[in-house]
Structure 1
């Protein structure tokens, strides 16, 4: 047998198996679900041969051969689906790496040198044909889920600096095809997470953020399938997500031979990064996988991977507690007595975490002043935060606090002392957004200041949670304190310092949990999620709008990190009046929070909230950690929206059903559940709402999936939820 099995040759099916055939020079990465196969061709290029459904071990691949050129205009270097290409020679498709040398040379041609296998990781070393520039491609495979985590390291062993002008974490190659469809996510403030789809045609589609951070305009996630595969639970889907919280770019390109390439990494717009002699540049990580269970299956694989491998505490991250946030009740007008009164009301309905929002620090009376001055306001809290924290703890809740560490108001002591600490171009405007400027976190002194005040805040107070906000994008991204050829390093060094602060804080204060918030969902990606426990999808908390927002969010990210608040009605967003039950059920599809002004609630509101929160706690693990099925997606003007979450161990399923409006006496569509064991008996239990009168108390999984369930939903803006529980003795 010519294949030499590497790591854990006798591993179970759930372990990744990486093999190399020295005769054919073929690499094979097999997981329980997928196979990823590459070969080194006659030109010493690393060429993709296959990526898709798991192939039998008996299937062997011949030595890779370069693709034929398409006339003299498109030679093999352009048509061959390489794993990673330098911009050089006659390459006309998107390169993986582009550099400039001190002598002005910009030609880079990478050739395979060697490999290393270490457990579930494969590393391939490549080198330029004449200059001492090396690139290591790293592949780490999840043996059960099948997701590959890829990155690249660029090493400069030349006698001088080089400048990276474009760099991808990975290049993903799909087979030739003419019927591919691309899905991606777009949005804006208060309207994030809109799922888009379009055919892939010859040429290039660019998804990107040029905003300094991830951004709501696009999210760094993609999915590609065949246009004929319209069943959300069937068909092959290739999908991926970039783990980078700075400006980013993903390109989807179909070449002259109808092959599809996907490149992703830091955005090349206004980008340059200087790598000194002997230095290295490590790219972000680009995650990708394949599902043969449609876009629904692709989402579930990503959710499981995020929970098992990405989130802090993985593979068993903590469940999200029921949270109350004071913002909509008090705005900036926070004080000790008022927050204590809110804490008592929150505790009375079963809240587990009390969070005081903006307004507690500096001279913060509105959004025009105080950012950057992170001391407790002595007029609002004359004895510091301890009395409030002690009160919250006495009510059996933990305490959280809002911060916005990367920003500064011009009206602040910090800015008056250090006006040079912001992103800026000398002699040019300092454009304000929300009356604030962006601190240049790439600077070591700014990084030290931000870490220092956060560390002191957490050391001096029993704080369990930080809501880390970020309320504007970049402008004038200058860094005049460093030499000219290093100033564009700001795009990378800012984000790296953000990560290092979060990492160091978590190491020093391991019990503290953190939420990533950015004026809504503008900084959600697999990079920030490695260091934060939850994310804020949108400032729009209108419960009906949230059905569409949350639907889009879950294409890429787990409901377990998706904060969803119950807020007041009518909502500020649309002036739409919705019942408290409807608002709770909408939010219970994610990580439940309450942001309403409890000072205005009637006794019956508290009673409803107590009931709904108690119900949520019984289904929380299934909602946050289960397998999500979109039975009816709230897309394309659908009057209905239905989600089903199935527990990991299969013991229960939870269904949420929503109706916009009844029309012409039509009944609500029959619901056909998914993900149940067809031979197991399940008992149905309505938590809120009504089922049809002929619904049996229990039936087989096959019955609930094939015959289906009829729910009694009529009227406008109605909702219900029910649970199916496996009957004891059925395994």
Structure 2
């Protein structure tokens, strides 16, 4: 049983293949966290310890961790729940009221807490992914009273790890064009906060974290980790109490947050998944990757390999026409491209980024016969057809805005701040949701489209919702994201054959919430292959390679070889975005060969186990990434130089994840060698000249 309850000690133990998670009801009828980590053998290993007597300035809750603390009593650490009741009482005292268990492939435990006086119920949900050592948590609030409750913070979970004063916090930071940069900082007393207040996931932080005791590596050491499934404003707080209790709390951002919970109403928080690995950061990543491939990605396309994509943006920008797009499609198809995508500029009066956004009709001057002739031509070339949209936005210079200026997010009497010359439609409104669903549904119903690139090119400002009473307008942070999810869910249900890609000026919307609805993401507008290596490395800590679109473009084409740019992009789902009109016959022929190479190994990249062997951020001459088939019968290794000079001989690359006693044949070697040899003696790799790269296939004999 993965969920166990011991009645005598009121003890809950959740077990996965290699981990356990324990909590118990204490003498005050409060749910107290006991343990999370490597699996322990006996129920007696989990005990409620007596809290020592403390000075009046200290809090016992800094020593004994509650599982889901409400703000109440002598408590000054990060709470999970903060409310104001109708009579002005501003704390919440949560006591255990019962529990239930649902068995199945992913068993669930629900523990019900209730406020000691008011009718507020809090259901703590735990879903167990036993083979992946993961626990998914979320909370459902229900107002069982007869008066409204103002919710000021409702977090998804608080993760407590064994107390220690030397934890290290790993997260992904950056900014536009430099997303997903790996950061590691020691935790001391106090709080380390990563967050987005921008209404999207954000470029500056990502809702993924890892904790270790300062000495874990890629291959060894205990690591606790988690990822939040929310595509709006979020916050994760890592806190060390004065008594070295270490906790990570996360969920919807409580900045400018407010939710009026009417009698009988519910509020469900986003899921927050957590896991433990005793085998370092590499295994922690692989557990999350397998979870995404098997449990998160939309089922319609989760098992399909991503097609090689061409996107026309860099070739034409807004100067889109049927004739030119068709000419580019001819060249793309000849290279072996499988999916042709028309980017921005095909609709409305969209000749630049200052007008037309929101007017979703096919521009009659650019496509006098509509999109069908181009779509038919693309299909006739053996490719799928895809299109770019940005449904959540509007230009002030558009028919839509002139007709519905009230549809944008704004404060009455304040200027409406533009970014990229556009404003945000209020997806919290029902009429706006229906407008977006209607035009997208007609676009996909009237045209034979197989792929949608869904973009979002600005964050929120002036977050007003004037149609609501003042005490409810802060609900926009929740209802906007719910609106987005509802629209995409409806479109996916109506058009299950269409693949969706999430984009937000690059990596502004990468999280497990959007990946439940969209099949892949665009992690950065930065396509410089050398800089992209760090972005892709950071991405791999939290997200699977199959979900990551990676393009070969003309960025850095004057100094990085085409093969180098391809090898970098082959480490995800491959796309091409360069201007094919400017590619020579020799370059087109080389690209054709490299696309063929990718098709031969993409099943390993997209569905295999990823091993980060050499990091591009550690000052080494090379970076190396390996992908291994789940059955260990084959692998592919990418080695890329990250410095201009490589005059010194390169050390061997030590492979991982192979079956030790199996023989493997390696590209370029005359005789097979054992997996143990490749992992213990390493593989010699020679790179000739500056910024060279190698793709090496390894297959069992």
> Which residue of structure 1 aligns with residue 693 of structure 2?
719
Q: Specify every segment of 5 or more residues in structure 1 that has no aligned partner in the other structure, as ranges.
A: 1-8, 10-16, 687-694
Counterpart of 1:42 (choices 13, 19, 27) is: 27
Q: TM-score, normalised by structure 1?
A: 0.94
Contact 1:158/1:277 (CA < 8 Å) preserved in 2? yes
Contact 2:175/2:204 (CA < 8 Å) preserved in 1? yes
Is 1:591 the equivalent of 2:573?
yes
Shift of 1:299: 0.8
Counterpart of 1:306 (choices 292, 307, 332) is: 292
**What is the alpha-carbon distance in structure 1 between the residues aligned to residue 96 and residue 499 of structure 2?**
43
**What is the alpha-carbon distance in structure 2 between the residues aligned to residue 577 and residue 411 of structure 1?**
40
1:178-193 alignment to 2 at 5 Å? 178-193=165-180
1:76-155 alignment to 2 at 5 Å? 76-119=60-103, 120-155=107-142
1:198-213 alignment to 2 at 5 Å? 198-213=185-200
Is 1:433 the equivalent of 2:419?
yes
Is 1:605 the equivalent of 2:591?
no
Shift of 1:570: 3.3
**What is the alpha-carbon distance in structure 2 between the residues aligned to residue 556 and residue 259 of structure 1?**
25
Shift of 1:382: 1.1
> Which residue of structure 1 aligns with residue 553 of structure 2?
567
**What is the alpha-carbon distance in structure 2 between the residues aligned to residue 385 and residue 163 of structure 1?**
50
> Which residue of structure 2 aligns with residue 3 of structure 1?
none
Is 1:705 the equivalent of 2:695?
no
**What is the alpha-carbon distance in structure 1 between the residues aligned to residue 662 and residue 329 of structure 2?**
44
**What is the alpha-carbon distance in structure 2 between the residues aligned to residue 475 and residue 664 of structure 1?**
48
Residues 18-73 of structure 1: CA distance to partner in whole angstroms, max 9, x if unpaired? Answer: 111001111111111211111111111111111111223x4434553463353222
Shift of 1:365: 0.2
> Which residue of structure 1 aligns with residue 237 of structure 2?
251
Contact 2:218/2:279 (CA < 8 Å) preserved in 1? yes
Contact 1:308/1:314 (CA < 8 Å) preserved in 2? no
Residues 375-428 of structure 1: CA distance to partner in whole angstroms, max 9, x if unpaired? Answer: 000111111111111111111111000000000000000000000111100111
**What is the alpha-carbon distance in structure 2 between the residues aligned to residue 201 and residue 272 of structure 1?**
31
Shift of 1:78: 4.1
> Which residue of structure 2 aligns with residue 24 of structure 1?
9
Shift of 1:202: 0.5
Contact 2:142/2:267 (CA < 8 Å) preserved in 1? yes
Contact 1:19/1:28 (CA < 8 Å) preserved in 2? yes
Residues 463-514 of structure 1: CA distance to partner in whole angstroms, max 9, x if unpaired? Answer: 1110000001111111111111110100000000100111111011110110
> Which residue of structure 1 aligns with residue 439 of structure 2?
453
Q: Specify every segment of 5 or more residues in structure 2 that has no aligned partner in the other structure, as ranges.
A: none
Shift of 1:663: 4.6
SS of residue in 2 equivalent to 1:144:
helix
Residues 666-696 of structure 1: CA distance to partner in whole angstroms, max 9, x if unpaired? Answer: 111211100000000011125xxxxxxxx55
Shift of 1:639: 2.5
Is 1:341 the equivalent of 2:321?
no
Q: Aligned-residue CA RMSD in angstroms? A: 1.3
1:97–1:237 Cα change, 3 Å:
same
Shift of 1:80: 1.6
Shift of 1:661: 3.3
**What is the alpha-carbon distance in structure 2 between the residues aligned to residue 606 and residue 451 of structure 1?**
39
> Which residue of structure 2 aligns with residue 54 of structure 1?
39
SS of residue in 2 equivalent to 1:612:
helix
**What is the alpha-carbon distance in structure 1 between the residues aligned to residue 37 and residue 514 of structure 2?**
28
Contact 1:26/1:61 (CA < 8 Å) preserved in 2? no
1:315–1:259 Cα change, 3 Å:
farther
SS of residue in 2 equivalent to 1:618:
helix
Residues 514-559 of structure 1: CA distance to partner in whole angstroms, max 9, x if unpaired? Answer: 0000001011000001000000010000111111110111111111
Counterpart of 1:672 (choices 651, 654, 669) is: 654
**What is the alpha-carbon distance in structure 2 between the residues aligned to residue 537 and residue 41 of structure 1?**
45
**What is the alpha-carbon distance in structure 1 between the residues aligned to residue 468 and residue 52 of structure 2?**
47
Structure 1's consecutive aligned runs of 4 or more residues displaced over 4 angstroms after TM superposition are: none
Aligned residues: 698
Q: Which moved more, 1:144-153 or 1:63-72?
A: 63-72
> Which residue of structure 2 aligns with residue 5 of structure 1?
none
**What is the alpha-carbon distance in structure 2 between the residues aligned to residue 664 and residue 143 of structure 1?**
45
Contact 2:34/2:47 (CA < 8 Å) preserved in 1? no
**What is the alpha-carbon distance in structure 2 between the residues aligned to residue 310 and residue 72 of structure 1?**
47
1:520–1:526 Cα change, 3 Å:
same
1:214-363 alignment to 2 at 5 Å? 214-229=201-216, 231-313=217-299, 316-363=302-349
SS of residue in 1 equivalent to 2:691:
strand
Contact 1:41/1:66 (CA < 8 Å) preserved in 2? no
Contact 1:307/1:315 (CA < 8 Å) preserved in 2? no
1:602–1:664 Cα change, 3 Å:
closer
**What is the alpha-carbon distance in structure 2 between the residues aligned to residue 504 and residue 603 of structure 1?**
44
Contact 2:331/2:580 (CA < 8 Å) preserved in 1? yes
**What is the alpha-carbon distance in structure 2 between the residues aligned to residue 66 and residue 390 of structure 1?**
73
1:630-709 alignment to 2 at 5 Å? 630-661=612-643, 663=645, 665-685=647-667, 695-709=669-683
1:640–1:622 Cα change, 3 Å:
same
SS of residue in 2 equivalent to 1:105:
coil
Counterpart of 2:399 (choices 413, 426, 435) is: 413
